[in-house]
Structure formats: C-alpha cells, structure tokens
Amino acid sequence: MPLLFPRLARPDARVALRVGDETLRYDELARAAGGHAAWLRARGVSPGERVGVWAEGDLPTLVALVGNALAGVASVPLNPKLGERELAHVLDDSTPALVLATDPAALPPRLSGALPIMRREDAPIVRREDAPPPREVDDAPLLVLYTSGTTGAPKGAVLSARSVAANLDALAEAWRWGADDELVHALPLFHVHGLVLGVFGTLRVGAGLTHVPRFEPPRFADALRQATMCFAVPTMYHRLADAAEESSEVREALRRPRLLVSGSAALPEREHRRIEALTGRGVHERYGLTETLILCGVRADEGPRPGEVGAPLAGVELQLVDETGAVVDEPDQIGEVWARGPSVFSGYLGRPEATAAAFAADGWFRTGDLATRSRDGRVRIVGRKSTDLIKSGGFKIGAGEIESVLLEHPGVAEVAVLGVPDEDLGERIVAFVVPRGAPPAPEALIDLVAKALAAHKRPREIHFIDALPRNAMGKVQKAKLRPQG
Ligand code: MLC
Ligand code: AMP
C-alpha cells in the first residue's frame, strides 16, 4: 500500500515545517513524530482510537498531529478558543483516549487531565522494533473535524487517510504542487483548510510549510517573501489588499508566490480585481467542504478566473440538482451541488442518521450550496440553500447553535440569527432579539455566545425588535430581517 507521507519514510535535511524562528527538517520531523507515535503506543493507545490535540499554532502541535497520523490514531483537533459548552460537547462526543497540549497548565478545567506534547529535544531515538510502521493510505480514520450544521451542535466529520490522500493528490496535480514548493498560511490548525491542505498537503508532496500562527498582514507579508504558494480565506485577502494599498512592501510580497489560493468562502469578484490591480497577480479559487474535502479548483496552468471555482478535481463527480431532485443539465442554470468521489468523508462520528440524511440515493453528498455550471464544466457558487448556515471569516456557523445559547438569557424572549453581507468577513453574524422586559446589554449577549461556543461565533451586532416576522404557519421569515439603521 502506498504511504501517506512518503518523504517521512526516507527523511532528509529539507526543511519541512517552519513556525516563527523554529524549523523542523524532514529528518527531525520523522524522529519527533515517530517518537511521538512510539510513545502513544507505549501508553497503550491503539490504532483506531481518537486523540484530542489542543490545536495551537506552534511546532509541537504540528508534530503531535503528524505523530498521531503515523501512530494510526485519529486526531481530534480542538480549537483553543472554544467556549465551555462547545468544548464539553466535542469531548463528550468524540471521547478521546487522551488529550495533548503544548502547555496543559494553560487549559480550561475540563481538560485538567491533558498530557504535554513531547518536546522536540525529548523525542527518543526509536528502536526499530518499537517504531510504528510508516502510515499507509488506509481506510482508518485520520481526522475527526467538528463542523456546524443548520441545527444542533457541531458534528464530527470522520476523514480517512484514503480520502485525504486522494484529495491531496488531486490538488497537487491541479496546482503542480511539488517538493520544491514553499507554502505559507496563517490558517487555524483545526479545520480542513489549514490542517488537511496546509499541513498534510505539504508533507504529502514533500514540500515546505511556513505556518504563521496569527494572521496580521505585515507579518504574513514578510513570510510570503520566500513562498511559492499562499493559502488564505477571503477575509485574509481582503485585509492583505487593504494593507497593500498602503504599503509597497506588502504589494511586492504578494507578487512573490507563483500561486495565491483562496477558499473556504467566496472571494468576491471585486476583491479579485482589487488584488490584481494592486499586485498584477490574480487569485486562484477552490471550493469544498469539510465533509467532501475540495471538490473544484482553478488549475495553476489556467490563470485566475474571478467568480469561478474551476472544474471538478480529478476523481470528483459533481452534479447540480433542482428542487424537484432533477439533474440540471442546462448551462448556467442554478442547482444544488451534489458530489461523489474518493475524498468524501466516512460519516459523522456516532451519528448514522445524520450521515444517512446528508446523502441522497447512490451515494451523492448534498452540499447545500447553489451553483451554476458553464458548458465547459466550470462551476460558479451562487449561494446556499439554507439561511441558517453562515460563513464568517471562512468559519461555518449554524444560526441554531447561537439562537439556543441566546435563548437561555433571561432577557431574551425570542431570537433569530442570520448572516448579513460584510466586506471583511463575507458574512457578519447578526442577532435579532425580542427582549423580555428591559433589553439586556448587547455586550452581555455577545459574551454569552463567545464564552459558551467560540469567539468567532459571537454576533457582531444585536438588534432589538418588537416581534419576529412569521408566516401563516408561524415560521420565522429570516429573509425579512435586515439590520435597521
Ligand atoms: C473579541 N474577541 C472576543 C470577544 N470579542 N473574545 C471573546 N469574547 C468577545 N466578546 C477576541 C477574539 O477572541 C480574538 O482574540 C480577537 O478578539 C479577534 O477576534 P475576531 O474578530 O473574531 O477575529 P478576526 O480578526 O475577525 O479573524 C479573522 C480571521 C479568522 C480571518 C483571522 O476569521 C480566521 O482565522 N479564519 C479562518 C477560518 C478557516 O480556517 N476556515 C476553514 C474552514 S474549512 P485574539 O486573541 O485571537 O486576537 C472549510 C473547507 C474549505 O471551509 O473549503 O476550506
Ligand atoms: P466547512 O463546513 O467549514 O467546510 O464549509 C464548507 C462551505 O464553505 C461550503 O459548503 C461553501 O458554502 C463554502 N465554501 C468553501 N469554499 C468556497 C468558495 N470558494 N466559494 C464559495 N463558498 C465556498
């Protein structure tokens, strides 16, 4: 069977990972991650079990994520900014055998039993008989990534090594991503974009990654100077374009990589044009979901195509389906994107019903995204079926999860949450609240969500209204709600 990270099985002195001033060469990474895997095994953690990783953007965390993969365990990366309730949910739902963190002393009380990630200098020289065999492209779970739906708490999408490898190979082909490439990204390490594409993609092709733990345009631009590729969400491109307007250094840095890639949300055509006007360089867009990995992408050899996410990647089957369930085959007609292929996930952890509901007959995964396709097969994402899913800063957020938290506040009688267009975030979370008695302080409601769920799920605005608009059946008509003033 082929290996998941072939270069780690024949490691050399090429730099694999760089975070700040620290670097790890492939030979050092192989030793550290191999030591981690042997240590897990010595602790009795068996292949197939789940291990939580407190996903700070540092080198030890990257080693743990790679080491878990080598050990055959599934990583459950935990967003370090998760609020109490969401953290408890993810832990109760994923039941990790253990949780690892760079600094366990800094964790919330719920994680008091977490273990420290082995420091690089402590990584043992692993005896041949203790070393786990190199990780193959097998069907065992590699990752459990938590992702929001329209209702309820986030679900754990189980991704096998095979689906990840299939997707990364298709992307490597589309982007001509190879061992000479140097990728830079500042994405969080608990989602597909930063972890699967950014980290595992780099290691699968044997290339180099510079991870910038905190996105700030000047610092990011510094890192870009050595890059051949850049991955970012539209909010980051928006902020880079703002910075480029002020700074010739940022403009110059953005010209360096051969490929600027955007994904996780739509990059508006206006932003494409702005970056092109400022730098002379365009942005290549790609489209995907946690559950399917990346489905479409503009290829490196075809130049940026503003407004389009490209054609389906190798191995991906895609069809557009109308409301009656009929396949749309007229060019430029809108339908929901249904997808099939080797990169599609194995299901939601412990939720056979939710998994079954996500698929139509014949194994088609229903994405919920609306798109058109041109005569030559190029896809344009035009919207989403549900107003209850919000993409803000590239994070997917369910309106329902926020509404449930706000309803617990004694000053909230009714609430409706929606995403409204936002130049910077793509969509901005806005809550319309019918107060019970005197309206609570907006900050109290915002903090309630940030503390229970996650900071990126907090409403950016609270609007108090007298009543929610409802139809004759009593259903809230969110489309009628728009921020006033
Ligand atoms: C502010 N903060 C609060 C707060 N108000 N914290 C708690 N309570 C409050 N009331 C804090 C935050 O914690 C944070 O702290 C700081 O204020 C700024 O927070 P923010 O305003 O939310 O961050 P922002 O600057 O808007 O972040 C922008 C961003 C981020 C682009 C950096 O949105 C991001 O990283 N996006 C990437 C999302 C992504 O990777 N998606 C991929 C999904 S996979 P502090 O300390 O941090 O400053 C997928 C599939 C695919 O979609 O196709 O790829
Ligand atoms: P997630 O659950 O975080 O993986 O988010 C997946 C969703 O992100 C998709 O269903 C789309 O709505 C959105 N998305 C990802 N990439 C793009 C893109 N290039 N253009 C528009 N939407 C995108």
Phi first, then psi: what are they for 60, rounded to 5°?
A: -55, -40
Q: Does pTM top 0.85 for this prediction? A: yes
Helix, strand and coil percent figures for the chain, each rounded to 5: 35, 30, 40
* CATH number of the domain to which 438 belongs: 3.30.300.30
| 238/421 Cα distance (integer angstroms) | 14
Phi first, then psi: what are they for 68, rounded to 5°?
A: -60, -45
pLDDT at 483: 62
* Judgement on whether residues 204 and 340 belong to the same structural domain of the protein: no
Would you say the CB of residue 380 lies under 6 angstroms from ligand 2? no
- Minimum mean pLDDT range among 129-138, 241-250, 300-309: 129-138
End-to-end CA, the chain = 61
| 220/214 Cα distance (integer angstroms) | 8
Over residues 209-232, the mean pLDDT reads: 97
Would you say the CB of residue 296 lies under 6 angstroms from ligand 2? no
User: Which of 171, 235, 240, 365 has the most ligand 1 atoms within 8 A of CB, as the residue to mutate?
Assistant: 235
Phi first, then psi: what are they for 143, rounded to 5°?
A: -145, 150
Over residues 298-307, the mean pLDDT reads: 95
pLDDT at 127: 75
Strands 389-392 and 395-398: antiparallel
pLDDT-based confidence at 303, cuts 50/70/90? confident
Q: For 348-374, how does the pLDDT look when each residue is reduced to its tens digit (9 = 90+)? A: 999 999 999 999 999 999 999 999 999
Q: Which of 334, 362, 384 is the last residue of a domain?
A: 384
* Judgement on whether residues 460 and 323 belong to the same structural domain of the protein: no
Closest residue by Cα to residue 233 from 211, 257, 208, 266:
266
Contact 191, 290 (CB under 8 A): yes
Q: For 25-58, how does the pLDDT look when each residue is reduced to its tens digit (9 = 90+)? A: 999 999 999 999 999 999 999 999 999 999 999 9
- In this structure, is residue 432 part of a structural domain? yes
* Judgement on whether residues 408 and 455 belong to the same structural domain of the protein: yes
Over residues 406-418, the mean pLDDT reads: 97
Number of domains making up the chain: 3
Ligand nearest the Cα of residue 306 is 2
* Judgement on whether residues 205 and 291 belong to the same structural domain of the protein: no
* Judgement on whether residues 372 and 402 belong to the same structural domain of the protein: no
* Judgement on whether residues 287 and 152 belong to the same structural domain of the protein: no
More confident residue, 151 or 58: 58
367 Cα nearest atom in ligand 2: 10
- In this structure, is residue 456 part of a structural domain? yes
Nearest protein CA to atom 21 of ligand 1, as residue: 456
Q: CB 113: neighbour CB atoms within 10 A?
A: 9
- Minimum mean pLDDT range among 31-35, 258-262, 380-384, 426-430: 31-35
Would you say the CB of residue 358 lies under 6 angstroms from ligand 2? no
Q: For 87-124, how does the pLDDT look when each residue is reduced to its tens digit (9 = 90+)? A: 999 999 999 999 999 999 999 999 999 999 988 777 77
* Judgement on whether residues 88 and 45 belong to the same structural domain of the protein: yes
Q: How far is the CA of 367 from the centre of ligand 2 (A)?
A: 9
Reading the block at residue 177, the tokens are 């991503």
Closest residue by Cα to residue 460 from 396, 403, 417:
417
pLDDT at 178: 98
* Judgement on whether residues 319 and 181 belong to the same structural domain of the protein: no
- In this structure, is residue 181 part of a structural domain? yes
pLDDT at 150: 86
Q: For 172-219, how does the pLDDT look when each residue is reduced to its tens digit (9 = 90+)? A: 999 999 999 999 999 999 999 999 999 999 999 999 999 999 999 999
Look at residue 1 and tell me whether its pLDDT is greater than 90.
no
- In this structure, is residue 335 part of a structural domain? yes
* CATH number of the domain to which 322 belongs: 2.30.38.10
With a pLDDT cut of 90, the percent of the chain lying above it is 93
Q: Which of 334, 351, 384 is the last residue of a domain?
A: 384
* Judgement on whether residues 17 and 157 belong to the same structural domain of the protein: yes
Over residues 467-484, the mean pLDDT reads: 88
Over residues 301-306, the mean pLDDT reads: 94
* CATH number of the domain to which 75 belongs: 3.40.50.12780
pLDDT at 170: 98
- In this structure, is residue 208 part of a structural domain? yes
pLDDT-based confidence at 133, cuts 50/70/90? confident
Arithmetic mean of pLDDT over the chain: 96
pLDDT-based confidence at 484, cuts 50/70/90? low
- In this structure, is residue 425 part of a structural domain? yes
Domain encompassing residue 89 = 6-214
